[in-house]
Amino acid sequence: MTAVEIVDQNGQLEVYNALRNMFQGQHFHLRQRRRIRRLIQVRPQEHAVQGLLQKYDLDTVVSVAQTLLGDGIFESEANARSHFSSDFQLAEQDNAISKQATTTSVANRTSNFPVEPNHLCDAQLSDGFDECGLATRKTFHRESEPKILILESEHKGSDISTQTHDNHLHNPPSFVCSLGPQHELMTQIQKAMEYMCFAFAQCQMPEVVRENWSCPQAVELRRWAKEFSARPELFTGNRPSTELLQSVESVWHTAVHRERLTIQRLQQLVADTTALSTLLAVPEYEKLFATLSKQLKFIVYDAKCRQRRRAKLEAGAADIAKRRLELDREECKIIMRLKELDVGQSTAADKMVSKMVDQLTSDFAGIVAAKLETDRSGGTDGTGEDTDSDADLVLC
């Protein structure tokens, strides 16, 4: 039995619900198994995907997803309704109830957070470019136990042939951003982080905030890193690690001192910023930095694609240059042969013409000699008078 036959209708619906947000945009056109597998592996931190991989093995999930993609189930909700019929409606009701409960819980927990309007990165970003995952980093800890927040997109158990074929995609391109746009970006990130930390502090230590700071602009970002390090009691569960707080200070330092960043370093700073927003749990800023992280992944993905296209063009240009050199050599050989052929043909023609002249001269001399012999024989027989002398004949 195939993996799809093993998983019943409810199981297929569960796979669809867990992966429906993943296979959107350009990704619902995927049909290749290795690409589907890699896409599922880059986002295992999502709760629904985690539960799915715990219930079924990865190969089964990939097989079911490949079948659903082939049937066009992810392309529209209408296709999903038609495929799953009544089960789809029941699942929608359960999701609505769960979403309502979650929304109510978040609203109660964050009612005291101030909202800062008109901040960084309100632009929409379509799904479908998450194949360029961030590197695994330890971003927070509880007592002495480390935990991983951001996971590596490359799965160690991937197919060796797949790793070899896509090896160039696993290494981010190394280039430095232009200072102007980079400085503007880092300045906005710094500002947004200062607002986020101020909002968190207003909720967790309102007395300290009222006594010392009147607005978000009154506190530098690096000061918040020191405050969070000195006040671990602000965090009920996971608290920021030393490495994460140092990265927060690096954001401030880069924005203030206008340091140039490679794309890898920028990606790391944004990853740490997103991790801090998750720990502080200020909803609007969690969404803000998650969107920023997606946009940066798209930039890295685009750079990798451009690198790959450039490598192909360079290889094509080198191949053309090699072929041009070979063609030049062949052309020189042909030209030499043509010259040799022209010289040989001219010499042969000259020899043939000379031979024809010699033959013609010989034939003509024979004709003349025969005529003279005939004329002499006629004069001896006395059949006619020959008034012409031999000398006259010779002159003729």
For residue range 197-238, what is the model confidence (pLDDT) as tens digits? 888 888 888 888 888 888 888 888 888 888 888 887 777 767
Q: Which backbone phi and psi does 142 adopt, to 5 degrees?
A: -115, 115
Q: Name the pairing type of β-strands 145-150 and 239-240.
A: unpaired
Q: What pLDDT is recorded for position 138?
A: 38
Higher pLDDT, 306 or 390: 306
Q: CA 3, 6, 8, 14 torsion: positive or negative? A: negative
Mean pLDDT of 131-145: 37
Domain spans of the chain, in order of start: 9-84, 179-301
Q: Is the pLDDT of residue 51 over 70?
A: yes
pTM of the entire structure? 0.40
Mean pLDDT of 111-122: 39
Instruction: Tell me the H-state helices in the chain.
Output: 3-6, 9-19, 33-42, 47-55, 58-70, 77-84, 86-109, 160-165, 167-170, 179-204, 206-212, 221-230, 242-257, 263-280, 283-380, 390-395
Please give the structure tokens belonging to residue 30: 């995927």
Q: What pLDDT is recorded for position 70?
A: 82
Of the pLDDT bands very low, low, confident and very high (cuts 50, 70, 90), residue 14 is: confident
What is the b/e burial string over 55-83, where b = at least 16 CB atoms within 10 angstroms of the residue's CB? ebeeebbbbbbbbbbeeebbeeeeebeeb
**Could you give the CA distance from residue 24 to residue 30 in angstroms, rounded to a whole number?**
10
Mean pLDDT of 312-334: 93
Mean pLDDT of 328-339: 92
Lowest pLDDT segment from 8-12, 23-27, 171-175, 370-374: 171-175
Could you tell me how far CA 59 lies from the centroid of its own chain?
25
Other Cβ atoms within 10 Å of 125 Cβ, number: 16
Residue 149: helix, strand or coil by DSSP?
A: strand
Q: What pLDDT is recorded for position 121?
A: 35
Lowest pLDDT segment from 178-192, 229-243, 246-260, 312-326: 229-243
Q: What pLDDT is recorded for position 326?
A: 94
Q: Measure the N-to-C terminal CA separation of the chain; round to a whole number of Å.
A: 115
Mean pLDDT of 256-282: 85
| Residue 33 CA: distances (Å) to CA of 38, 59, 62 | 9, 10, 7
Higher pLDDT, 210 or 9: 210
Residue 390: helix, strand or coil by DSSP?
A: helix
Summarised one tens digit per residue, pLDDT across range 52-70 is: 777 788 888 888 888 888 8
Q: Which residues contact 306 (CB under 8 A, 6 or more apart)?
A: 173
When the pLDDT of each residue in the chain is averaged and rounded to a whole number, the result is 72
**Could you give the CA distance from residue 61 to residue 49 in angstroms, rounded to a whole number?**
10
Q: Is the pLDDT of residue 318 over 90?
A: yes
Q: What pLDDT is recorded for position 200?
A: 86
